[in-house]
Structure 1
């Protein structure tokens, strides 16, 4: 890095190669290329930029045209970044069984995410993307067949690897295949410019698409016609779809692959954990799987060999997957013991009483009382939430109102709007005197006091709150079914 960039897109690529110091056997040099250093945390940022800029250059993508693609997540996240920067609407199709972190990231970046049934697998989400593209005239990226995917890796990833090993011989390059773009794009350059480097491809041991040597049924346009007969569900999201992509098949037919290694899902999980805890490298399951392949290779290769493993992404998009299944959210027994080793600030002991106030209590002013009166008698905004800007209980109420499309006025007493002359404090004093409650939030409907977060949630579950809304002529979406208590902050759950 170390310079100014004109946009986030200029930061794609130039990811570091890092030595693995503790996990590999002695006598073998094991390295990893950390694609998590791309701006959106995965190797697919390269694919996204390459495909979009190629389509622009060829006139296939018009200004303002919607982009669509099927993705397990990382490609969609990369495309969401590129499309946000370039101004293209983006729709992605994604099987429902992929991690929720990914779909939320894409939506955060402005993309629309259309889920497809898990039973339809990767080919189902791909078919949906094709269907939508044809119906609406959208640009389909076709990451699994698009030569621009592989070409971008030939222009960026491969030269980076050659530069990193310009002073020593690279004996093995280890990768998964996924779309086949990284595999085809890098392998063909290595075969030309570093012919001594063996290309080793990893795949799940229970889903050996390449290892089976069975052909992939394919349509005339290169897209898969059906799921591969050897596909089985596996842990490595995005590493191997339920078909062999055209780009991967190109690499096979061109003789670019020297060895195929089957990887156990349990080995992938353990390698990811070991990378984090012994090397300080935070990565996902697919990265752990690729490293597991490198470790397997290191057991039998010649002493002094240099092995480079591609680590595709970061671990943050696997929080809801088996990778984090054993990672506690609450304190473990060991952590509880640490807490108990000193006397203060503990959940299992009563808090110390707050210090006596040193300043005079804030009193309501005529201005504050008039403000309160005006707000509670404003028939154009019958639902009023007196809140604090960053209070999690206030946000829980905002979530409920948002889900049900309930229009409301939020008076955020601690916001900059109410800070002059402590107007927010005096309004709160007037509010407390009016209701007899000292806590925030406080909710009114049609000038009637409902209560705080708990009272509103109780009334919503019983239907009483909806009756208040109808009485006050408040329009809202009464078809929404939601347990309001599910909207509370997670830290309210019982602790150890």
Structure 2
């Protein structure tokens, strides 16, 4: 295995994989799997290139905040680059893009500002420009930044040509979001061999390129309003509601030989087939690109070599229609498999879950309680307004933590399985005190010195209003405006009790 100085050095050199089952016999359709980039998409290339071009030009100062409008993948790539290089990042994203992307961005340290879905891509771009101008932040301008196309000329296109050294590439198929991949790869392929056909796919209900209608622009060349042929579509990352300048350059340079319209339902269907037939996990834009590549393949001569871009992975689409047919619970076939053997059955009553401390022997009930543990329990309950006796790994404990976090409740967490309580088996001894004096299970919660009980007892107390009364009696501040059913915070495998 190679060794790298930073995660950024692992970007690029993604594999070409032949689609041997989906493609028609005799025609070679190769997918360039950009999910092999470190943050899972083709945008990792552009993110590094844009930031480093700005550093070289002196337009990005050390510690300056970076801002960009993105449907998600560019933002995720930028979050990686900015985290590694030490730049704060603000991402502007329309509210209709997948929840997974927002969470990934925030997990990587970025701030995410949402714009109304009705304002479309041009709305989130306008917001990013506004924030940049108001705060002096560096705006990446991915839709027009030359570094976007340049990195694909320098890397992506060269990788494809190297993979076909000694062979002939006949066709390159891609979708278009910013236009950087199309323009950069298209330039190099056209220069290397003018016979290579370049095919662009776009949503069939948003044919802004195929329409031939120019993009309305202001005096600075920026889109002044949505393209008249734009409609919302299922293929996230493709076709904003305007023609980006990079995409327009590709058209002006006559790099597009054909435009293939793709139905959103076909994009989702083929993305699922990539997973179940080829074992390739990819998103809707990848599915759509493969639809276009197969369209070309079916009318191509045997021996034709076609390369299509698969921009990202499928994991960031779990909250979208791509995964709507996937259930969190067992289907009939899975239930039948479960019932085919007698043990470990979910359709039989089981004892209520009791969290234990793995690897540590319990203290028998008949043994005297440890005086230090007794004193600790009494003191922490007396001195702290809200106390949670918990285990670090327990999902019920995490459900309580999530509730306290949502309500803004400050609490003391005594994590019995943590390193702090391993010395002298103190955690086990505290557990014995709790078991003998209060209850068998973990977690156990106390408010204002009063024993509330475990996870579900706390949730029931919130539903009845008892928890709120206890908090107010103990003068504990919390957010009274939040309307929340606490049982929604339990893990999905739990079947919570219904309210009486």
Question: How high is the TM-score relative to the length of structure 2?
Answer: 0.95
Deviations 1:420-464 (A, max 9, x none): 2221121112122222x1111111112111111122222223332
Q: Which residue of 1 aligns with 2:284?
A: 285
Distance 2:415 2:370 in 1: 18
Shift of 1:186: 0.7
The SS at the match of 2:112 is strand
The question of whether the paired residues in 2 share the 8 Å contact of 1:362 and 1:429 is answered with no
Residue aligning to 1:163 = 162
Partner of residue 23, structure 1: 22
Cα RMSD, aligned residues only: 1.8
Q: Which residue number in structure 2 is paired with residue 426 of structure 1? A: 429
| Greater mean deviation of Cα atoms: 37-46 or 344-353 | 344-353
Q: Decide which of 389, 392, 397 is 1:394's aligned counterpart.
A: 397
Q: Which residue of 2 aligns with 1:455?
A: 457
Q: Deviations over 1:59-94 (max 9, x none)?
A: 111111110001111001101110000011110111
**Aligned counterparts of 2:348 and 2:444: Cα–Cα separation in 1:** 30
Give the C-alpha shift of residue 352 in structure 1.
9.1
Report the secondary structure of 1:271's partner residue: helix
Residue 233 (structure 2) aligns with: 234
Give the match for residue 358 of structure 2.
none
Instruction: Give 1:469 deviation, angstroms.
Output: 1.8
The answer for the alignment partner of 1:365 in structure 2 is 370
Residues 1:474 and 2:479 aligned together? no
CA 1:59/1:353 → structure 2, altered by over 3 Å: closer, same or farther? Answer: closer
CA drift at 1:467: 2.2
- Mapped to 2, the partners of 1:410 and 1:134 lie a distance apart of 44
Residues 91, 113 of structure 1: 8 Å contact kept: yes
Instruction: Provide TM-score, normalisation by structure 1.
Output: 0.95
**Ranges in structure 2 where 5+ consecutive residues have no aligned partner:** 354-361
Pairing 1:78–2:81 present: no
Question: Is the counterpart of residue 128 in structure 1 residue 163 in structure 2?
Answer: no
* Distance (Å, rounded) in 2 between the aligned partners of 1:454 and 1:159: 59
Aligned equivalents of 1:188, 1:329: Cα separation in 2: 45
Aligned residues: 489
- Which residue pairs with 1:141 in the alignment? 140
Where does 1:43-442 land on structure 2 (aligned, <5 Å)? Answer: 43-351=42-350, 363-378=368-383, 381-435=384-438, 437-442=439-444
Q: Distance in 2 between matches of 1:263 and 1:414?
A: 54
Counterpart secondary structure, 1:261 = strand
Deviations 1:301-354 (A, max 9, x none): 222111000000000011111111111211111111111111111111245999
**Could you report, residue by residue, the CA deviation over 1:24-46 in whole angstroms, capped at 9, with x for unpaired residues?**
11121111100000000000101
CA distance in 2, matches of 1:114, 1:461: 32
Cα pair distance change 1:415/1:166, threshold 3 Å: same
Q: Deviations over 1:247-292 (max 9, x none)?
A: 0000001101111111111211121111111111111110010000
Deviations 1:194-236 (A, max 9, x none): 2221110000111101111111011233321111110111110
In the aligned structure 1, how far is the partner of 2:350 from the partner of 2:479? 42
The separation in 2 between residues aligned to 1:106 and 1:99, in whole angstroms, is: 11
Residue 243 of structure 1 aligns to a residue whose secondary structure is coil
Q: Distance in 2 between matches of 1:327 and 1:263?
A: 23
Preserved contact between residue 363 and residue 432 of structure 2 (Cα < 8 Å)? no
Which of these residues, 488, 491, 499, is aligned with residue 489 of structure 1? 491
User: Gaps (5+ residues) in structure 1?
Assistant: none
Shift in Å at residue 363 of structure 1? 4.7
**3-state SS, counterpart of residue 187 of structure 1:** helix
Q: Deviations over 1:356-406 (max 9, x none)?
A: x9977665211111111211221xx21111111111111111111112221
CA contact (8 A) 2:93 2:124 kept: yes
Task: Say if 1:61 and 1:352 are closer, same or farther in 2 by CA, change over 3 A.
Answer: closer
Alpha-carbon distance in structure 2 between the residues aligned to 1:407 and 1:112: 24
Deviation at 1:493, TM superposition (A): 4.1
Cα distance between partner residues in 1 of 2:101 and 2:254: 34
Match of residue 445 from structure 2: 443
